[in-house]
Chains A and B, each alone.
Chain A
Amino acid sequence: MPTIEISKKDLEKLAGRKLKNLADELENAKAELENQDGDVLKLDIKDTNRPDLWSVEGIARQLSKDKGCPNYKVKKSKYVLDVSKKVNRVRPRIAAAIVKGIKVTDDLIRELIQLQEKVALTFGRKRKEAAIGVYDFDKITWPVLYTTVSPHGIRFVALDMTAAMTPLQIMAKHPKGREFAYLVEGYEEFPLIIDRAEQVLSMPPIINSNHTGKVTEKTKNLMVEVTGYDDKFVQASLNVMAAALADRGGKLEEVTINYDNKEIIETPNLAPKKAKVKIETIQKLAGEDLKPKEIISLLRKARYNAKQVGKLIEVEYPAYRQDILHEVDIVEDVLIAYGYNNFEPEVPKLAVHGEETELEKFSRKVREIMVGFGAQEVATFTLTNKDNLFKKMNITEREFERAVEIENPVSSNWSCLRNWLLPSLMDFLSKNTTKEFPQRIFEVGEIVKINPKAETKTDTLKRLAFAFSNLRVTFTNAKQTLEALGICLGIKFTVKESEHSSFIAGRVGEIRAKGEIVGVIGELHPRVLEGFGLSVPVVGFELELNKIL
């Protein structure tokens, strides 16, 4: 969720009106007022798919006294940006705009950097899909060329540096170079923007040059450029930047992008986009009999142009809105303009009856019986590690069964999903060695087992594990509990001696019911106790509830 800082004074000036109920008004721009410190508003913008809202200009547009689709004029111009076919192998698309006659202040520079960073970070996926450069237009000699250069092929002074360096040196030495080097990893040549006078503008998506790529209070005219892979991101990002600068009083001019004479386009393209929406769709979805006139007025408030054509509303909306894919996107804007809290909530009338799953009902029954036996229920994490599952349990993963393993764990402590439950209880006991005994605990919890035949290659199963730790406990204590549970559930459990190195040989058995093996019971092996740092004996069992349901 992008967080931005803006000036309230600035916001009201741009919106052309006073904002009385600030927090409420901001909701219309999906902005949440995090805090207010004098004139500075800190906002969380909830819509991660609307970069046009991530600036004071964008918020102001949404709350403006003006209605209807904002109209941005883009002057034709003679400025050309040539694109070499060499960039096809690295970063193929570019779009650019010229902004003239803008008053550059410290505040504006800060605003600009904030918007540029937010758009490139969140919408542009950390500059991968959209990297943005802003330049001092008056230092550029046209035409400009977007091409590639070998890692040692040129030397220039990168932004905020003093010495000229090769692209490779910049990757190694400049903070931004190091941060974003992974974006050009594996490229034989790096993207480069250079002008007719052989002055480097920038090395996208990494860094601007210090000469043309530095904007100061002395700058009068700007050039903005966006590079990436897909015009959907590239042009949308440019439109967001261009619209914000135009709202500040900048005069927009086109740049002709010439893709090796094969494709020639002019950017930015801020002509409003068109769409249609059925009046009935709006009314049905809203659940409110909104009249066409009212809908049109709401749409204009949401910065659309709208007119009724028969059963349809035809709309025009600003080019920076790339999020509108379907009628429902327009409907939401109508609902927001109407005010969510102005609707009368109504519980759906459906003939339904509530129900838990059979497994859940059964689990609760088991849990209640276990509580009746005087056991304390515990809840543990399903994430664990191989040490707990295998090593400390005195078994090997190979002889037991493989566990689901996470590739990018936050910590190696939580790098596996458990494939049996008793280790969780042992781990729990290990955290309570100084507490009062007896400790009689149980958990009904989920485990994940590998199943190559299943759609997800795993089965999620519910199990009951019980552990009883006291100075004098024996196998009998565990078996008594198991048998009592069987009586309560009306299931006949039998125990057949088996082998399992987590338990003492001759004091472990498999539990059978309904003709299959459903669990294991025994006295935990002292090596297991040692592994978990326990010095009080433990007996226990584990049962698969799915099998005895």
Chain B
Amino acid sequence: MTDIKKIAEMLQDNEIVVLKSFKKKSADRIREIKSLKPIEFLRAGMWLENKGLIKTTKIKKKFATLDILGKRYVKASLPEIKLIALLKKGPKTLEQLRRFLSADELRFALGYLKKRSAININKGVLSITSYGRSTKITLEGKFLLILAQKGELALDNIEPQDLHAYLELKKRKQLVKEVEKQEISFKITELGKQVAENVPSGRRIGLITPAIIRSGDWKKQPFRRYDVEAGVPAIYPGKKQPYLAFLDDARAKLVELGFKEMNGPLIETEFWHFDALFQPQNHPAREWTDTYTLKYPKQGDLPKNKKQLAAVKKSHEGSWLYSWNPEKARQLTPRAHGTALSARWLGQGCQDGKYFAIARCYRPDVIDATHAIEFNQVEGIVVGDGLTFRNLLGTLKQFAIEFAGADKVRFLPDYYPFTEPSVQLDAHHPEMGWIELGGAGIFRPELTNPLGCKKPVIAWGLGIDRLAMFKLGIKDIRYLFSTNIDWLRKEKVV
């Protein structure tokens, strides 16, 4: 089957009407088709143009159309014509005429008719001249009627005699106005002409309806061919948020590796946030991370476990040589690090095991492409008798392989106020190169002992947001929480 024929068979009914009308009208350009509504006409034209069968030209054109007063005078006739009609019945005084015409109308009509010697004014009495008597309608009046009939007239299409009337009317207020409109016209292409010759005759099935199926019409009539290669409007399925989907994967991986999830409150007391983590109340270590303070509510409660509380106080006072203030420990703060959650968890028991949390955290940082107002920390602890530094490295190496697909890992000395020793984990990502993936260490005994835990506790944290950004192909961390629905709709599922 030739392409021409194929195209012809794909045409919809309205397209066929448009295409055929070129031949029927033997016109070069068409601007409308009576049997089609303007919207149908335009849409069919658009489809035809997409197929290369016609060419659309859009021209901005000026049209004359009736204005408010103009519309009224079409019904009630122009004031000058009204005046003539009145005077034809006999001379009248101005007083008398005022009953029929407004002051403005009268003033204009007098001027207009006097200029044309259609009336005489003598001592306040108006009478008609013979020229006036022969006048039935003016050029302006005629033009108004034409305009009323056609609705609008392209300015470049107005007859010369009408043009004068139009210009006169335009000088008067609110009789006619000029509007600019786009005029669309179609011109058939060479391909269009060939296709027009091949348009199939007879009915074809477009939309299949239950009636067509039941009636068996489909056995008799051909189906209209569709352009299956054409573009279609987009639809958007329900989808997970890409970053949350990424975190789901991370969570699944951690569960797979034997980690149990911990949870805790977004608003934390400084006790669990700092004191339980052996951060002295007045030491630079406590400023290792800037934190928010609350205006409301300000203070929480200290833990009910008095033994723990006394032990934390003793640990601080013994090591840091200051007087520990329980009031300070009651201050509330939005969680700034997930380690607060690990401390709370450890305070509830010291069960052997591997634990993790994906914790929303807050820091009063500058906000830019690398700092969001809030972020998620993936972190946790490993508790067990006899855990060693090598176990710490083993845990980290496993993360590097599982999360970053690392082919190499590197461990660097690091510093965290609550771990000793402390390690930085660098992973060599096959595509990103060396990245700092996490920080970890073994909790200080001054931290674990007061909480009633005599075992070594490995504490770890992973910075996986950079991996998420890499996977999602974004450069700005704020996009992890994108408010652009189009991006969410169009981002691939990872």
Q: Which A positions have Cβ atoms within 8 angstroms of B? A: 27-28, 30, 32, 46-50, 122-125, 129, 230, 232, 284-288, 325-326, 328-329, 331-332, 335-336, 340-341, 343-348, 350, 352-357, 359-360, 364, 367, 370-383, 402, 404-411, 414, 417, 427-428, 431-432, 435-436, 439-441, 443, 446, 448, 450, 452, 454-460
Residue of A nearest to B397 (CB): A345
Q: List 9 A-B contacts (CB under 8 A).
A: A284-B388, A285-B421, A328-B420, A345-B409, A350-B352, A360-B261, A440-B238, A455-B269, A459-B265
B68 interfacial by beta-carbon distance below 8 Å: no
Given known A27-B412, A125-B284, A354-B257, contact A287–B390 (CB-CB < 8 A):
yes
Given the complex of chains A and B, what is the CA–CA distance between A408 and B298 in angstroms?
Answer: 13
Known contacts A30-B415, A350-B354, A405-B294, then 5 further A-B pairs from the complex at CB < 8 Å, ordered by chain A residue: A354-B259, A360-B251, A381-B481, A382-B360, A441-B485
- Inter-chain contacts of B292 with A (CB < 8 A): 406-409
Residue of B nearest to A427 (CB): B483
B451 interfacial by beta-carbon distance below 8 Å: no
Residue of B nearest to A353 (CB): B258
> Do B332 and A287 have beta carbons less than 8 Å apart?
no
Residue of B nearest to A324 (CB): B420
User: What are the interface flags for B345-371 relative to A under an 8 Å C-beta threshold, 1 for contact and 0 otherwise?
Assistant: 000000011100000101011110000
> Do B456 and A285 have beta carbons less than 8 Å apart?
yes
Given known A335-B389, A407-B293, A448-B267, contact A432–B420 (CB-CB < 8 A):
no
- Inter-chain contacts of B365 with A (CB < 8 A): 410
> Do B243 and A379 have beta carbons less than 8 Å apart?
yes
B438 interfacial by beta-carbon distance below 8 Å: no
State which size class the interface on B falls in.
35 or more
Which 5 A-B residue pairs are closest in the complex by CB-CB distance?
A: A287-B388, A354-B255, A287-B390, A345-B393, A332-B421
Q: How far is the CB of A378 from chain B (nearest CB, A)?
A: 6
> Do A404 and B296 have beta carbons less than 8 Å apart?
yes
> Do B393 and A456 have beta carbons less than 8 Å apart?
no
* Cβ 8 A contact of A332, one of B388, B422, B456: B422
- Inter-chain contacts of A122 with B (CB < 8 A): 284
> Do A373 and B238 have beta carbons less than 8 Å apart?
yes
Q: How far is the CB of B218 from chain A (nearest CB, A)?
A: 32
- Inter-chain contacts of B424 with A (CB < 8 A): 46
User: What are the interface flags for B233-271 relative to A under an 8 Å C-beta threshold, 1 for contact and 0 otherwise?
Assistant: 010111111011000100100111111111111111100
Residue of B nearest to A123 (CB): B284
> Do A407 and B295 have beta carbons less than 8 Å apart?
yes
- Inter-chain contacts of A428 with B (CB < 8 A): 483, 485
B300 interfacial by beta-carbon distance below 8 Å: yes
> Do A345 and B396 have beta carbons less than 8 Å apart?
yes
Given the complex of chains A and B, what is the CA–CA distance between A359 and B358 in angstroms?
Answer: 13
- Inter-chain contacts of B422 with A (CB < 8 A): 332
Given the complex of chains A and B, what is the CA–CA distance between A244 and B64 in angstroms?
Answer: 92
> Do A340 and B243 have beta carbons less than 8 Å apart?
no
- Inter-chain contacts of A431 with B (CB < 8 A): 483-484
* Cβ 8 A contact of A406, one of B241, B295, B394, B421: B295
Given the complex of chains A and B, what is the CA–CA distance between A408 and B295 in angstroms?
Answer: 8
B301 interfacial by beta-carbon distance below 8 Å: yes
* Cβ 8 A contact of A378, one of B266, B420, B488: B488
B321 interfacial by beta-carbon distance below 8 Å: yes
- Inter-chain contacts of A441 with B (CB < 8 A): 485
Q: How far is the CB of A314 from chain B (nearest CB, A)?
A: 20
Given known A356-B261, A357-B261, A428-B483, contact A456–B268 (CB-CB < 8 A):
yes
- Inter-chain contacts of A408 with B (CB < 8 A): 292-293, 364
- Inter-chain contacts of A350 with B (CB < 8 A): 258, 352-354, 382, 384
Given known A232-B321, A350-B258, A376-B489, contact A285–B411 (CB-CB < 8 A):
no
- Inter-chain contacts of A328 with B (CB < 8 A): 420-421, 442, 444-445
> Do A30 and B414 have beta carbons less than 8 Å apart?
yes
> Do B484 and A354 have beta carbons less than 8 Å apart?
no
> Do B255 and A355 have beta carbons less than 8 Å apart?
yes
* Cβ 8 A contact of B265, one of A28, A125, A450, A456: A456
Residue of B nearest to A31 (CB): B413
- Inter-chain contacts of A404 with B (CB < 8 A): 267, 294, 296-297, 334
> Do A382 and B266 have beta carbons less than 8 Å apart?
yes
- Inter-chain contacts of B268 with A (CB < 8 A): 456
Residue of A nearest to B383 (CB): A350
